[in-house]
Structure 1
């Protein structure tokens, strides 16, 4: 090829390349603008096209997307005969463009989560959760970074397991933002959430509010030396209105909502009552009362304070007082009686400042004995209508207005020796805060310890519409409560010791009132208007036990300590689930009841002496380490007698702060758990206690099955006012012979009252001595005959419990069970199971002969049953799943013994039978 040809070829190639470039897609600045070695995406605004500066009258459009991507010109004829039409492509397939506060390009993608608070502005609080937050990230995102020893993470989720300290903040389902930092010696956490509506699920548009309740909190830790760690904690939840300036007023106290300030306070009532009404004596004693009313001239700013004498018309009575018993020098409210002081600002007897100018109301009372102070006003809304003033005892009983606790006396004084001046302000709750510090030591001179002190402040503000409209802060008052806990332990084998001391005020609270979207607060509706910093989660699962804001559906599957295999099902009803409900507990169900013993045979520690083992206890209280309204200590010392045996002695001494009740328990405990080669396992537990307990600790009954209604509360009847209690449990498992097992369990409890004619909480006379005896003997043998398996089983269960109350009947019964199981393999993956069970139940207290003689026509309590069952099980693989198919039949015949009138005034013992059958074919699929 000559030079001329080469030049021609190169020219043609350049021309083709130039034409290709001309027809390539132009993305403008969507892929950024390169300046030097960097690509910039910052917004620059539109520029001036010098090529378009022609003074022509004809309308001309700047080429946009259709021109650069599809070569479409608006002035040309469109014909798709040869160049076929290309459909529009969604320009948002890759999301939107996002920029930060400073104009920096963030990315092109999707808005997953956005929480913004703009103040002052109506509807200034908004939360957005896109569908990607739920679908892509399963409602939780985690961002973080680390370098060297420093790490931090930002977690946003609908259900975050979060704990600062057990006394301040602990929830299994925190919905909000958690920011964590950690280094070798320091750690910190920040929490934030709009707790009245954190937006659960997908929000198509931002969920905006003017009235909101925000939570902010955190914890910081610092290691001091090698063994000590100190920390600080603060959690604050406050109501706010975004139309107000955030920094106008008290940030910690928050603001009153528009619903709380839309109307003025027209009436206030102070209710004095007996803090321990059950004793019907020594209730609230009112010696004197005064009031100070502060008003403001909003034009001049002048504030005036007037007392009671200055705001009452001469010759009139104000406030109006209802209830109470006149005593020498004071008015008393004993038992269920109440003293109600009504301050009606619309009453003609009131001649004080106009109610729209009042900015603060303070009460000055002199009280004594066991008083409780509650307050009410026309602005304290609830699920029921607000009654008109005046408030009376009858109105309180019938209308059930919302009363807010303010103060209560310490102890249960009845001789007016605690006469005191009580000052408090009226206000609506606006915030709740808990703040404190912790100190923890590991192996400090051989000791481990942990201490925590917290102060709880409840904020109140007096509502005034003029202050709200002027964007000014309201007058703030506070009520406080403290909590202090400390525990210490040391292990110096074979010796060990543990001690704990605690004081938690009755007014210590981690509950915060939250605002509804309209600004109202339903103070008597915890499901919609109460948020808990510390949840009630006795079974320690992912759902709180009670229904509150953020967890409106309470956990009904609560059985603390009864789920040792961690399958979220009670171990006493293992075959119960949502797909196949079963309401019969395993210890009463045929074939299953051989291995499962009833809860009465369990043993353990019961330091609150309510007749229920502490670790199985379900209550309706926040899960603090120690209950509110308690102060006391517990200490024990012990020694390991053997590696498998230990002995300890200790004492618990605690009292209620708001009542004259205490729990003094001295105890000694011995435990042994040892395996003996060639024999089996031996377990021994014995605990001797001297109990003086007058503190009621109510609990909730365990859930019998998943679909059961909410279990009732079980009252602590205080059966042990001064009692010696000995609990002994012995377990012997014989496993020396292969395929042969004998299980024996013995439980014996003895109660001896140290007082003559001791009484329970209802005043009933208790038995001087009572006992509980339970004995279980079980025998099982597995006989292998080739591929066949036979299992003969025997079980005997004896249970006797004396009544604690003299007027109640004892319980005595025996159950005997004999069963035979057989298993026959078929082919490769099929098995046939056969089972026969015979059971006898005898009620040993009621004598059938006496019932016949006395003409009592009813069941005697004795019964026997026979059950036969056959079942075919097949395991197969199908479409990647493991299928288990079962079909079978169970037939049961039960014979109940009863006394009937066979002839006029002639009674005899008869047996009545009934037959129950169950047939089924069931298929299960698994992986």
Structure 2
């Protein structure tokens, strides 16, 4: 124990009841500030290092926010150093919720290079920037909960927190669910508290011969002055991704917030895809606060379409179009944005020798920055790629070699760049 405190406690209880179409859930929890599941250990010389987490402690509960095979700890002990390779020189990326295929590579950078896929020519058609993703933010730090990463052991509830959460609801119509709830939690060592009343409406419906509609609306009234700081994965163009500390802007100290998302995937015509997404977040301050706008908002809109045309057995032509609009304003510590991108893709693919393909591509971009006209540009990208798929010792090898050149035409200046590449991917089927 600790002097004056013989022990530290962690308690929790969950109760759930479901009887279609109704459901009810309640939870209560309390984790003392001094609660811990680590112990001090000696090094090879028998000495204790009380200041170094990497060398001096062994944690029995892993920090593994992304739920992969590698714990997230920076630890000296081999059993807890799995997040590091090559003698702790290469850090395995930590991006919760952004590796849905569990291949250890971010879904935003599947070719593992210096460019996120949503900003890389041709790949950007399929991958949308993270600002357009929807999710719940129950701790009110403006980051979707399933994408959060911290440096704490993965306890069911946070250390130094006590509180409860109750919600109930029903499937009011087939495919339509309504949930209402109340959450209250507070810190034990500080005079800080988070209280919210919230509601979630979801709709998911398939229309035969037409497509799929999704709608989510998450509304809440919040008073939250508990800072939930994070360490988030971030990748900017021309650099390898890495962990960046994120400070909770405390945007919801007395706030009415709403996050709405709607998407429709049209599949009514064979070989034609038409995808539409809209996200709209608002944070309205219920009283005046220095340094905060009355309303912070984020509006994201994506429309994209592609059509696949086949000529004979070996020739494939695929025109694509993508439009993206983003308006973000009033968020403390970030720059306001108001941008429009219109992008046309033309891809020609010709098959040779069964498993070898030649690809030619042209991408045209019209970019407009509504807040800073000097950032406006028109862009052209030309690309050539030779691809081959082969079998080798039980693996499926995909080899790509090619060349790409890009030109951006700004007012009074031109920016040009070229890249030659060769990649080999190995996988199993």
* Alpha carbons of structure 1 residues 881 and 506: separation in structure 2 relative to 1, 3 Å: closer
* C-alpha contact (below 8 Å) 1:686/1:727 kept by paired residues: yes
1:880 shift after superposition: 7.4
Q: Distance in 1 between matches of 2:63 and 2:417?
A: 44
1:515 shift after superposition: 1.7
Q: Structure 2 unaligned runs (5+)?
A: 85-91
Residue number among 599, 604, 612 corresponding to 2:143 in the alignment: 612
- 1:644-666 deviation line (CA, Å, top 9, x unaligned): 11001001100011111000011
Indicate yes or no: 2:341 matched with 1:827: no
**1:786 corresponds to:** 312
Match runs of 1:679-718 below 5 Å: 679-704=210-235, 708=240, 710-718=242-250
* Alpha carbons of structure 1 residues 520 and 830: separation in structure 2 relative to 1, 3 Å: closer
**2:185 corresponds to:** 654
Match runs of 1:107-506 below 5 Å: 457-458=1-2, 479-506=6-33
* Alpha carbons of structure 1 residues 511 and 880: separation in structure 2 relative to 1, 3 Å: closer
Structure (1 or 2) with the larger CA radius of gyration: 1
Secondary structure in 1 matching 2:34:
coil
**2:287 corresponds to:** 755
**2:302 corresponds to:** 776
Secondary structure in 1 matching 2:7:
strand
Residue number among 66, 81, 92 corresponding to 1:539 in the alignment: 66
Structure with the higher strand share, 1 or 2: 2
* Alpha carbons of structure 1 residues 883 and 774: separation in structure 2 relative to 1, 3 Å: closer
Residue number among 107, 115, 123 corresponding to 1:584 in the alignment: 115
**1:509 corresponds to:** 36
1:843 shift after superposition: 1.3
1:889 shift after superposition: 2.2
* C-alpha contact (below 8 Å) 1:889/1:917 kept by paired residues: yes
Indicate yes or no: 2:419 matched with 1:917: yes
**2:367 corresponds to:** 841
Indicate yes or no: 2:106 matched with 1:574: no
**1:639 corresponds to:** 170
Q: Distance in 2 between matches of 1:885 and 1:574?
A: 15
Residue number among 332, 335, 344 corresponding to 1:818 in the alignment: 344
* Alpha carbons of structure 1 residues 710 and 796: separation in structure 2 relative to 1, 3 Å: closer
Residue number among 322, 329, 351 corresponding to 1:795 in the alignment: 322
Secondary structure in 1 matching 2:8:
strand
* Alpha carbons of structure 1 residues 636 and 883: separation in structure 2 relative to 1, 3 Å: closer
* C-alpha contact (below 8 Å) 1:557/1:703 kept by paired residues: no
1:809 shift after superposition: 5.0
* Alpha carbons of structure 1 residues 749 and 865: separation in structure 2 relative to 1, 3 Å: same
1:878 shift after superposition: 6.6
Indicate yes or no: 2:257 matched with 1:725: yes
Aligned length: 417
**1:21 corresponds to:** none
1:520 shift after superposition: 2.1
* Alpha carbons of structure 1 residues 548 and 888: separation in structure 2 relative to 1, 3 Å: closer
* C-alpha contact (below 8 Å) 2:150/2:231 kept by paired residues: yes
Q: CA RMSD in A?
A: 2.3
Q: Distance in 2 between matches of 1:913 and 1:509?
A: 54
**1:528 corresponds to:** 55
**2:375 corresponds to:** 861
1:609 shift after superposition: 0.3
Secondary structure in 1 matching 2:124:
helix
TM-score by length of 1: 0.43
- 1:478-524 deviation line (CA, Å, top 9, x unaligned): 64211110111111000001111001111111121112233321111
Q: Distance in 2 between matches of 1:877 and 1:629?
A: 54
* Alpha carbons of structure 1 residues 755 and 883: separation in structure 2 relative to 1, 3 Å: closer
1:625 shift after superposition: 0.7
Q: Structure 1 unaligned runs (5+)?
A: 1-456, 461-476, 577-581, 760-764, 849-859, 898-908
Secondary structure in 2 matching 1:672:
strand
* C-alpha contact (below 8 Å) 2:204/2:212 kept by paired residues: yes
1:717 shift after superposition: 1.8
Q: Distance in 1 between matches of 2:157 and 2:395?
A: 49
- With CA pairs under 8 Å and 6+ residues apart, which has the higher RCO, 1 or 2? 2
**2:87 corresponds to:** none
1:553 shift after superposition: 6.2
* Alpha carbons of structure 1 residues 790 and 701: separation in structure 2 relative to 1, 3 Å: same
**1:672 corresponds to:** 203
Q: Distance in 1 between matches of 2:396 and 2:82?
A: 34
- 1:324-383 deviation line (CA, Å, top 9, x unaligned): xxxxxxxxxxxxxxxxxxxxxxxxxxxxxxxxxxxxxxxxxxxxxxxxxxxxxxxxxxxx
* C-alpha contact (below 8 Å) 2:363/2:380 kept by paired residues: yes
1:538 shift after superposition: 0.4
